[in-house]
């Protein structure tokens, strides 16, 4: 007759075997236990079903993780492509902007003054002693000192120094510059000089002049390297000192000389007149 201890060891061994099969082969064990009946089957069925469900859940989670990794890799690749396309777009936009500026220069050159040469700004004064720029045209291109420098918008400055391949342009905002100006509405003349604040002013306006804020100032064409009628700026303020013989007007330059990139250098003889105020391309403005 078998002892109780022997039966207990047998039961424990069978239970351990079932548990091992449960963990090692959960799917197959569940199918096997479907055919079992009785206390052992009922005892093992519940944990077997739990482990099988856990195994299925882990498998699903792993598949989701793999899918998410694939999506993340794809997103990273797409972000890189977007950054590359943005860079290409910026380069194309800059090229288009440069093309538009050069086209405007050529159109203005053909319509206003044939005797002009286009130049590109290649440097700026880094010492802050003078407000000037360097352009890539010089003696070998026929550029001479005191020639006027403009854009389609208006006056930039004048040439003060040349080398074989470059020229230094003193900007209209430099205090050492002097350009003959004309108030377009009143026809009063004066001298345009730069200021320390990076703007400009019109000096020697007659005291009896009816000049006012908003008046437009153009080149007079009497002296210097500019023909008549090129835009210089707009009057933003007027100073009338007691006892003075003349008025002084503050000017907002028509051209943003701090950001100019391409210019035209006037090679026309002194005294040549072009009434830019009547040009249909917007190079001057007429005032009542």
Percent of the chain at pLDDT > 70 equals 61
Instruction: Kindly give the residue spans of alpha helices, DSSP state H, lying in 25-126.
Output: 26-33, 39-111
User: 219 falls in which pLDDT band (50, 70, 90)?
Assistant: very high
Contact 209, 200 (CB under 8 A): no
Name the token pair of 179: 């350009």
Measure the CA–CA gap between 46 and 159, rounded to whole angstroms: 97
Calculate the alpha carbon distances from 34 to 24, 40, 48, 207 in Å: 17, 12, 11, 115
Contact 207, 188 (CB under 8 A): no
pTM listed for this prediction: 0.57
Overall average pLDDT of the 188-216 stretch: 93
- What pLDDT sits at residue 89? 67
User: 105 falls in which pLDDT band (50, 70, 90)?
Assistant: low
Overall average pLDDT of the 259-277 stretch: 66
In the three-class reduction of DSSP (H, G, I as helix; E, B as strand; rest coil), residue 38 is classed as coil
Contacts of 190 (CB under 8 A, 6+ apart): 181, 182, 183, 202, 203, 204, 205, 246, 249
- What pLDDT sits at residue 267? 85
| DSSP for residue 172 | T
Q: Nearest Cα to 256, choosing from 213, 214, 198, 189?
A: 198
Name the token pair of 101: 């500026």
Instruction: Kindly give the residue spans of alpha helices, DSSP state H, lying in 112-152.
Output: none
Q: If you write DSSP's letter for every residue of 197-223 in order, what string do you get?
A: TS-EEEEEEETT----TT-EEEE-SSS
Q: Nearest Cα to 105, choosing from 264, 238, 287, 285?
A: 264
């Amino acid at each position: 007759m078998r002892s109780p201890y022997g039966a207990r060891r047998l039961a424990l061994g069978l239970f351990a075997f079932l548990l091992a099969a449960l963990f090692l082969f959960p799917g197959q064990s569940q199918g096997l236990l479907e055919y079992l009946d009785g206390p052992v089957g009922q005892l093992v069925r519940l944990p077997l079903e739990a482990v099988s469900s856990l195994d299925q859940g882990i498998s699903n989670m792993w598949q989701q993780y793999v899918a998410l990794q694939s999506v993340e890799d794809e997103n990273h690749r797409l972000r890189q492509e977007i950054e590359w396309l943005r860079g290409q777009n910026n380069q194309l936009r800059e090229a288009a902007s440069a093309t538009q500026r050069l086209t405007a220069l050529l159109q203005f050159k053909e319509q206003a003054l044939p005797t002009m040469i286009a130049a590109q700004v290649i440097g700026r004064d880094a010492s802050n002693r003078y407000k000037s720029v360097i352009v890539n045209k010089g003696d070998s291109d026929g550029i001479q000192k005191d020639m006027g420098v403009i854009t389609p918008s208006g006056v930039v400055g004048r040439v003060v120094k040349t080398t074989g391949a470059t020229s230094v342009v003193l900007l209209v905002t430099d205090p050492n510059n002097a350009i003959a100006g004309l108030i377009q509405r009143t026809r009063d003349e004066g001298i345009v000089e730069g200021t320390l604040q990076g703007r400009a002013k019109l000096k020697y306006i007659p005291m009896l002049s009816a000049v006012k804020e908003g008046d437009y100032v153009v080149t007079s064409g009497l002296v210097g390297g500019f023909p008549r009628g090129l835009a210089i700026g707009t009057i933003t303020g007027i100073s009338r000192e007691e006892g003075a013989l003349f008025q002084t007007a503050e000017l907002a330059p028509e051209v943003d000389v701090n950001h100019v990139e391409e210019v035209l250098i006037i090679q026309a003889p002194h005294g040549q007149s072009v009434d830019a105020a009547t040009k249909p391309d917007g190079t001057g403005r007429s005032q009542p």
